[in-house]
Structure 1
Amino acid sequence: MTTMRDVAALAGVSAKTVSRVFNNDEHVLPETRARVELAMRELSYVPNAVATTFRNGRAPVVGVVVPDLLDPFFAAVAESVNQVAVEHGMSTMVTTIGDDARQEGTLVGRLLSQSLSGLVIAPVATDNAYLARWAEKLPIVFVDRAPSGVSADAFLEDDEGGARMGVEHLLARGHRRIAFVADLSDVPTGRSRLRGYRAALSEHGIDRDETYEMFGVLDRESAADAVARLAALPEPPTAIFSSNARSTMALVPVLRRQPHAVVGFGDFPMADMVTPAMTVIDQDPALLGDHAARRVFDRLEHPKRRFRRRTVLPVRLIERESCKVAPPTQ
């Protein structure tokens, strides 16, 4: 089997330089890179991942933990992490944890037992203290949800501010009876968006109405049930703010013949093609995953840096056809 030393000998460089070329180190001179890459091709060199693991105690793999890969948001995060890992000569290993916070620690522990080089995680549990012992050994970066019980880097979106933006967009179109629809009631992002929803209404002198707040909208059936309950109220809402793309996608077929105006938090594939095209608060999950993955590799290159940073990325409103002006009788 061809080794890194064989490539180094043919190229006339050190084994360390071969490693730097393979990992796309930008500090390698172009002529040196070309010579090493030619030697790799001539010798059909493929790095031995097992040997790499034995040398530094870590596999050349970044773990990615998300609730659900069928969710376009988390799929985009995972793919973006994978692209950055490939740039650095590594692979990714993805684990989905679903919505049950009780099993998160077990599932993530199994993944981390593979001696990974780093971890990007979007947790569902509200207590992540189980990660504390791992955080001392490898870079852990949270995405979408802030860490709790452990010190770690995090990249988040402006959940509360984005929700206020969406609700204020509906208020500006004359709506005063605005419902809030979400999938889960105990997810940190959902709680922040609920605060933003309530704050926007309060600032416009609109009292909170708990009957307008619907949770458990996970699929078409639960969406139909929520819309039916809202329609049965003495004063049904004329608009809906959906807390996440999962709930919004469930609402789309149900609201096709309904008069509600809708703003959803989170863009999703075909959101501009459904009828009506959906107005959304765009989060840019690909950027979120890119930042998180690059922070993992920055930590790997500078392991002595102890300070952990929390970065909040801005969101923006994309206006489409689903925001109708409120009827004059409201």
Structure 2
Amino acid sequence: MNDSKIKNMDEFASVSGISRPTLSKYFNDADSVRKSTRERIEKALAQYDYQPNFYAMNQNRRLTKNVGIVIPYMADPFFAEIARNIENHVIEAGFRPIVLGSHGDPEQEIENLNNLRLIKPAGVLLAPLGRVSDRGRIAAFCEDVPTVLFDANIDNVGEAFIGSDNDQSIGLMVDYLCRTGQPPAFFEMRTPTNPNALKRRAAYIKAMNRLGHEPNLVQAEGDGWDFEEIGFREGSRVITERTLPTDTILCSNDRLAIGLLSAAYQLGLRVGLGPNCALRVAGHDDHPFSRYTCPTLTTVSQDYTSIASISAETLFNVIDSEHKSTSRLVTLFDGKLVMRGSA
């Protein structure tokens, strides 16, 4: 027996004259190599007293039970709710969820992915920031780690994308608002953070043209994730300036709508459907707070449950397949109209 202790598989490959891939194959499944090769390896093991580090091998093979869940903003109840749903599916499948928030910061988003890379996750479920995300570094991560995107899409990145059909949901709301009152203007951020906002803008224009109405964009100045503050500040401005082209406002998301509702109240405008109402306001997402505004917010609900379950199930299928798919899967769910007091 050789007195020198072999520290790792590379050293063992060097002293035994057997290639590292062949050794790795043997340690994964001894019967997968030829009998003569197996005998050479076993003789070398006895000679050099080498014991492989199976924990490290499992790490290298991504056999850990860790699954990362990365969302844009931990403090947003919308993302907290969908992360909670996904977390439950991950636990039920026997994996360990690790939930991280990017705080609206693209560098923090990459730091989250780098930290996950260190623990060799089985896979990652990622809701990217979107417009400000570092696409190149996220794409590089997804090449190394099985990753499924949800909520916001980055084209051709990750194994799959699971989200909402913005064309369908915005079209549904525009139809309703036009049917029940004046055609809506679209209240949005001029430079939206989330790519869903751009899809909703395009869907609004498409729906208005289809119905024979002139689209009207009311664009708010501001950037980042403080949507309520932007909705309040810019809503106050357009109401005070009396520049609204209609008494019906469709907001790009519920958080902007919540800010606009507050601005209308502050300026003495009554929002809703009654004869004394000066404004109708609608949103998108069915944010958990939308049912508690005053008046309660008319909106389009996203299918949290299906997005969470299909995102998790898709990732588990990718992990089980142990190879990259030849085509990227995209699954979109319809929204549902939620009629409340604001419109």
Displacement after TM superposition at 1:233 (Å): 3.2
For normalisation by structure 1, the TM-score amounts to: 0.73
Amino acid at match of 1:140: T
2:233 corresponding residue in structure 1 = 225
Displacement after TM superposition at 1:238 (Å): 0.7
Amino acid at match of 1:214: A
> Which of structures 1 and 2 has the larger relative contact order (alpha carbons within 8 angstroms, sep 6+)?
1
**Number of aligned positions between the proteins:** 273
Q: 2:114 aligns with which of 95, 109, 115?
A: 109
Matched, 1:265 2:284: yes
Pair 1:155–1:170, CA change in 2 (3 A): same
Displacement after TM superposition at 1:282 (Å): 0.5
Matched, 1:180 2:187: yes
Give the match's secondary structure for 1:321: coil
Amino acid at match of 2:334: P
Q: 2:87 aligns with which of 82, 85, 88?
A: 82
1:138 corresponding residue in structure 2 = 145
Displacement after TM superposition at 1:270 (Å): 4.3
> What RMSD, in angstroms, separates the aligned Cα atoms of the two structures?
2.6
Displacement after TM superposition at 1:175 (Å): 0.9
Displacement after TM superposition at 1:245 (Å): 2.8
Q: What is the correspondence of 1:54-203 to structure 2 with a 5 Å cutoff? A: 54-57=57-60, 58=62, 59-101=64-106, 103-126=108-131, 128-148=135-155, 150-176=157-183, 178-182=185-189, 185-203=192-210
How far, CA to CA, are the matches of 1:133 and 1:223 in structure 2? Answer: 36
1:244 corresponding residue in structure 2 = 253
Post-superposition CA distance 1:138-170 (Å, at most 9, x none): 320000122335342110201122112212211
Amino acid at match of 1:241: L
Matched, 1:282 2:301: yes
Matched, 1:254 2:260: no
Amino acid at match of 1:264: G
For normalisation by structure 2, the TM-score amounts to: 0.71
Pair 1:64–1:208, CA change in 2 (3 A): same
Gap runs ≥5 in structure 1: 1-49, 324-330
Q: Is the 8 A contact 1:175 1:238 kept in 2?
A: yes
How far, CA to CA, are the matches of 2:260 and 2:190 in structure 1? Answer: 11
How far, CA to CA, are the matches of 2:258 and 2:54 in structure 1? Answer: 46
1:300 corresponding residue in structure 2 = 319
Pair 1:132–1:253, CA change in 2 (3 A): closer
Amino acid at match of 1:243: S
2:337 corresponding residue in structure 1 = 317
How far, CA to CA, are the matches of 2:147 and 2:129 in structure 1? Answer: 16
Q: What is the correspondence of 1:43-62 to structure 2 with a 5 Å cutoff? A: 54-57=57-60, 58=62, 59-62=64-67
Q: Is the 8 A contact 2:185 2:216 kept in 1?
A: no
Post-superposition CA distance 1:59-87 (Å, at most 9, x none): 31110111112222211221112111111
Matched, 1:213 2:233: no
Displacement after TM superposition at 1:236 (Å): 4.5
After alignment, is 262-271 or 146-155 more displaced?
146-155
Pair 1:237–1:98, CA change in 2 (3 A): farther
Amino acid at match of 1:290: S
Give the match's secondary structure for 2:163: strand
